Structures are given as C-alpha cells and as structure tokens.
C-alpha cells in the first residue's frame, strides 16, 4: 500500500488536492500510460487493460479521463460492483453528485448482497447531504455484516463528517478489532481521539501508525502537525521536523497542506523572509486552488495583515463554498478587520450548507450575539449545538461562551459544568483551559470569589500539565491564570514564554497589551 496526493481539476474550473491510498505506485507512469492507451486503441473491445488505464489515470489525478474509461469498462462489464462504487466515489468527490447518485442507484439493482446495498444507500444519503439517512443505512450494513471492516470504516468517516467524534471512535474501534494494522482507520482514530480530548491515546495511536507506515503521507502530516504545535523547530528537534517535512514533500510535491506546514515551520522559527517567499510561491503555484487562498488568508491573519487576509479568504469563498474551514476563517477574519456587513450572509450560507455540524450552529450563534446583538436568535442557534452533540464537551463549552457574552452568568456556569462532565476521565486536555477560565470569569461576575479563584487555580494546574503538548497555549493560559490570581511575576514569565514560542495574532496582541498592564 502506498499514498499519493494528486491535483484534480474540478468541473467548475477550480483545482483541488486529494490524498489517495493505492495498492502500489507504478513506476515509469508516462511510459505505462502511453502503452495502455495504445493497447486500448488497438483492442477497443477489451476491458481489463482499459480498467488498468482507468486506475492509472485515477492515481495521477486525471479524473475526468478516468471517468470516461471506467464508464467504458462498465458498458462491457456492468456487474463489476467494486468499479461502480469506485466511479461513484470519484464523481462525488468531484462534486458531480447527480451522476454519483445515478451510478449508486443503478448498482442497487445489480447487487444481491443486502449489506452492500445498505452501504450504497448510505453513500446516496451522503451525496444528498442527508446524513441521518446515511448513518442509519450504514449502521444497518454493520449489523448485517459485522465482520466487514469497510462498513465500519465508512460509518466512522461519516460520523467524523457530522462532527461526532465519540461515535466515530466506536466505529473505528470495530475496524481495528477486525484489522489492527489498518493505517487509514488508525489515522482517523487518532483524529477522533484528539478532537474528543484524549491526548495520550491519540499520541499512542499516531506512534503505532508511524511504526506501521513510516512513508504514509497522512501519517507524516499528522506527526509534523504535532511537532509544529509543540514548536519543535529549533536545534536538533528542529532538524528532525525539517527532515520530516522534506521527506513528505518528496512523497507529495503537489500537496497544498504540506506546503502550508513548511510556511508555518519558518514562521515559528521567525524566518519571515523565507516564509513570505514560500507563501508567494504557494499562491502562484495554486492560483486556482481555493485551499491555496485559504492558507494564504490564514497566514496573513496570523501575522496581523488583515486587509490581505480579507481579500484572500473572500477569494477562497468565491471559488469554493463546500468547505467548512473557509467559513470558519471568514467568521474570524472579517470581524477582526471590521468587515461585519458580510457576516450575516455568511451565517445564512453556512447554516444552509452544513446543518449537520454542531460547530456551525455554535459559531453562528456567537457571531449573531457578538456582532449583531441578536440575543434570542444567537442563543437559540448555539443551543442547537448541544442538541446535536450532547456527549461532546466542546458543544457545551461553545454555548457557555455565548451565554457569557449575553451576561447570563448562572446559566453559563451550569452549561460549562455540564460540558466539564463530558471531558475524558483522568485526562488533562486543552479544552479544559478555556472552559475553566470561563467558569472563573462567570463566578467572578456573580460575586463568587471562592470559585473564581478555584477555577483559575484549575487553569494554572492544567496548563502546567499541557506545556509539552502545546506550550504556546499552555503558557498563555498560565499567564491569564497567574494574573487573575494576583501573581504578576509568574504572569509576566508565562506571557514572555508564550511570545517566545511565537504566539500568533490576535492572541499575540492581547498578551502584549496584558504585559503593558502588569
């Protein structure tokens, strides 16, 4: 098994990246491509070599041409179910959802396996953004064929899509029981563990995956992200991080994500000239890729260059409106730049496009309360987050922040404490820092000095335990806690530590202002 990142041109004219897992990466691709094309022209009635051609075109990102060849194969061999599913997946990824649904529905008539049919109905539900239908159908497939790891993997991925990491973990656990060394399942299992606050288990999962697949692009990308978050960018550890980036860039020279990691590597090393040069090259190389403009916007925002950030994120939004990350960035960047007039439209769009995601409702509620003073509507929207994911601490914490903004301090304390109960047992996680800080601030607002000090002490203790995992955020919260508890010396030390670790805008400006006031 090998991995590859390909650049794919979408029917809309935009370009995007997809990471592929392949059974093998053919050598001398151009030579093999010429031979296969020549053979297919000479033997148009054959299908096996045509299928090889389709798979090769898929592996190098020539998806429109691959679709043509897959369709030709299916004309000759219409009962090849796996090929139908592969073609449906490609069409869906390219945004050709109607064609994908047509392929899947035709497959239902040909397939006699009820479990696979349930799975296909789930894929149709995903194409239609009917995720409850999708989940119910794929759940039925796992019930009928519990030993089929593909059903469980699809179920876990769908749960991740709707931001339900706890349910996703249960599905991935089943995959790993059946196939303990499944690298794809281990990768996504790591992501779900990290999202739900299980830091140690996530790190253990990633280390196992790295041992199993040291050349897997997705694994290396996750390892580099961990190292950058820990700011392992200088001295010997910095050399290791750079070597990993160099390795994965050789494996995936067309990956926008990897190019972005290299830019952040130089930013964290305070090598602004190198970062800027790489950033200019990135946007030149990926001019028609919305992710290129998204990353450009993030870099501009994180370095305080707000006009450039606004221009870039609006361009990314105009090019592609199916990416939740772009909308999240819009909700951060536009208000920071004082451009709130477009936010109302952004909120309406993302609620229509991503109603299955709890974070969309929480973000929408916060935007309406914070920037438009729409109290009732904002509170109602953020409460929907809890309704969608009642087991997830972050959903409670986000609604708690909205209630804090509204001055509903007693309600906020209640909600934040409910979220606290959802945190992983015997685990100190990043989510606990802003949550405990919120409990401290709300306690102070109602005159409860005892709990005000108690919760800031919790912040200080938890931050101390998290300095290795995320030193920047840990020192930031140590600084806030120490300042609130009256220890100005400790607060200054922590704030200087977080600035030295290259805290990004806008938190950087907040810390500098706090230092001036201490």
Domain harbouring 339, CATH code: 1.25.40
Instruction: State the pLDDT at residue 366.
Output: 97
Structural domain contains residue 236: no
How far, in Å, are 35, 48, 52, 182 from residue 56 at the CA level? 12, 12, 6, 24
396-442 pLDDT tens trace: 999 999 999 999 999 999 999 999 999 998 889 999 999 999 999 99
Angle at 148 between CA 142 and CA 150, to 5 degrees: 90
Interstrand relation of 15-22 and 2-9 (parallel, antiparallel or unpaired): antiparallel
- Same domain (yes/no): 435, 495: yes
Domain harbouring 379, CATH code: 1.25.40.10
Structural domain contains residue 317: yes
Packed helices 149-161 and 165-178: angle between N→C axes, nearest 10 degrees: 160
Cis peptide before 506 (omega within 30 of 0): yes
Structural domain contains residue 377: yes
Share of the chain above pLDDT 70, in %: 99
In contact, 365 and 378? CB cutoff 8 Å: yes
- Same domain (yes/no): 329, 414: no
271-304 pLDDT tens trace: 999 999 999 999 999 999 999 999 999 999 999 9
What does the pLDDT average to over 209-234? 96
Q: Which domain holds residue 307?
A: 288-349
Instruction: State the pLDDT at residue 26.
Output: 56
The last residue of one of the domains, among 308, 333, 349, is 349
Instruction: State the pLDDT at residue 295.
Output: 96
How far, in Å, are 63, 75, 83, 263, 333 from residue 45 at the CA level? 22, 10, 18, 50, 56
- Same domain (yes/no): 341, 384: no
Chain-centroid distance of CA 64 in Å reads 26
375-406 pLDDT tens trace: 999 999 999 999 999 999 999 999 999 999 99
Structural domain contains residue 445: yes
HSE value, Cβ hemisphere, 13 Å, CA-based, for 466: 26
- Same domain (yes/no): 430, 417: no
Instruction: State the pLDDT at residue 186.
Output: 97
Structural domain contains residue 384: yes
Structural domain contains residue 271: no
What does the pLDDT average to over 107-119? 95
- Same domain (yes/no): 383, 471: no
Share of the chain above pLDDT 90, in %: 93
- Same domain (yes/no): 336, 381: no
Residue 2's pLDDT band (boundaries 50, 70, 90)?
confident
21, burial (CB in 10 Å: exposed 0-12, middle 13-18, buried 19+): middle
The string of DSSP letters for 28-59 reads: SHHHHHHHHHHHHHH-TT--HHHHHHHHHHHH
CB atoms within 10 A of CB 446: 12
Length of the chain: 518
Give SS3 for 255: coil
In contact, 209 and 187? CB cutoff 8 Å: yes
Instruction: State the pLDDT at residue 101.
Output: 97
User: Chain-wide mean pLDDT for the chain?
Assistant: 95
Instruction: State the pLDDT at residue 332.
Output: 97
- Same domain (yes/no): 340, 364: no
- Same domain (yes/no): 429, 497: yes
- Same domain (yes/no): 401, 467: no
Phi/psi of residue 256, nearest 5 degrees: -65, -40
- Same domain (yes/no): 518, 433: yes
Alpha helices in 269-357, H assignment, sequence order: 272-285, 290-302, 306-319, 324-336, 343-353
Instruction: State the pLDDT at residue 1.
Output: 72
Q: Is the pLDDT of residue 172 over 90?
A: yes
The last residue of one of the domains, among 374, 395, 422, is 422
- Same domain (yes/no): 415, 476: no
Give SS3 for 8: strand
In contact, 343 and 335? CB cutoff 8 Å: yes
Structural domains counted in the chain: 3
The last residue of one of the domains, among 422, 447, 469, is 422
458-499 pLDDT tens trace: 999 999 999 999 999 999 999 999 999 999 999 999 999 999
Structural domain contains residue 224: no
79-109 pLDDT tens trace: 999 999 999 999 999 999 999 999 999 999 9
Structural domain contains residue 337: yes
Residue 29's pLDDT band (boundaries 50, 70, 90)?
confident
- Same domain (yes/no): 299, 330: yes
Instruction: State the pLDDT at residue 425.
Output: 87
pTM above 0.85, yes or no: yes
């Amino acid at each position: 098994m090998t991995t590859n990142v390909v650049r794919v041109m979408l029917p809309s004219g935009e370009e995007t990246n997809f990471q592929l897992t392949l059974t093998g990466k053919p050598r001398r691709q151009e030579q093999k491509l010429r031979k296969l094309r020549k053979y297919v022209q000479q033997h148009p009635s054959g299908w096996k070599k045509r299928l090889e051609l389709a798979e090769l075109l898929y592996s190098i990102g020539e998806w429109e041409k691959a679709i043509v060849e897959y369709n030709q194969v299916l004309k000759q061999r219409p009962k090849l179910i796996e090929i139908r599913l592969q073609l449906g997946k490609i069409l869906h990824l390219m945004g050709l959802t109607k064609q994908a649904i047509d392929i899947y529905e035709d497959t239902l008539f040909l397939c006699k396996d009820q479990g696979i049919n349930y799975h296909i109905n789930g894929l149709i539900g995903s194409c239609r953004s009917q995720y409850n239908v999708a989940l119910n159908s794929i759940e039925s497939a796992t019930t009928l064929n519990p030993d089929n790891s593909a059903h469980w993997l699809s179920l876990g991925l769908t749960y991740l899509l709707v931001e339900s990491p706890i349910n996703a973990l249960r599905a991935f656990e089943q995959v790993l029981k059946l196939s303990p060394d499944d690298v794809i399942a281990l990768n996504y299992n790591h992501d779900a563990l990290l999202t739900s606050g299980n830091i140690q288990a996530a790190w253990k999962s990633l280390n196992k995956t790295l041992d199993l697949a040291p050349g897997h692009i997705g694994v290396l990308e996750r390892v580099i992200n961990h190292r950058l978050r820990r700011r392992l960018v200088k001295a010997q550890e910095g050399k290791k991080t750079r070597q990993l980036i160099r390795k994965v860039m050789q494996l995936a020279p067309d990956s926008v994500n990897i190019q972005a990691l290299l830019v952040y590597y130089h930013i964290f090393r305070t090598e602004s000239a190198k970062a800027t040069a790489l950033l200019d090259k990135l946007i030149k190389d990926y001019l028609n890729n919305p992710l290129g403009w998204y990353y450009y916007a993030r870099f501009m925002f994180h370095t305080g260059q707000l006009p450039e950030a606004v221009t870039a994120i609006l361009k990314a939004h105009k090019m592609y409106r199916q990416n939740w990350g772009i909308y999240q960035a819009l909700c951060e960047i536009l208000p920071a730049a004082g451009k709130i007039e477009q936010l109302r439209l952004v909120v309406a769009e993302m609620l229509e496009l991503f109603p299955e995601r709890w974070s969309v409702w929480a973000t929408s509620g916060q935007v309406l309360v914070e920037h438009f003073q729409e109290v009732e509507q904002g509170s109602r929207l953020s409460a929907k987050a809890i309704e969608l994911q009642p087991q997830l601490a972050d959903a409670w914490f986000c609604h708690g922040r909205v209630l804090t903004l509204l001055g509903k301090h007693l309600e906020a304390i209640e909600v934040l404490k409910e979220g606290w109960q959802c945190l992983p047992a015997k685990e100190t996680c990043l989510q606990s820092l802003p949550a405990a800080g919120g409990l401290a601030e709300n306690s102070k607002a109602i005159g409860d000095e005892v709990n005000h000090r108690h919760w800031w002490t919790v912040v200080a203790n938890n931050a101390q335990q998290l300095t290795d995992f995320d030193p920047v955020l840990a020192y930031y919260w140590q600084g806030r806690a120490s300042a609130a508890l009256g220890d100005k010396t400790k607060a200054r030390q922590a704030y200087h530590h977080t600035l030295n670790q290259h805290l990004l805008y806008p938190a950087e400006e907040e810390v500098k202002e706090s230092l001036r006031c201490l």
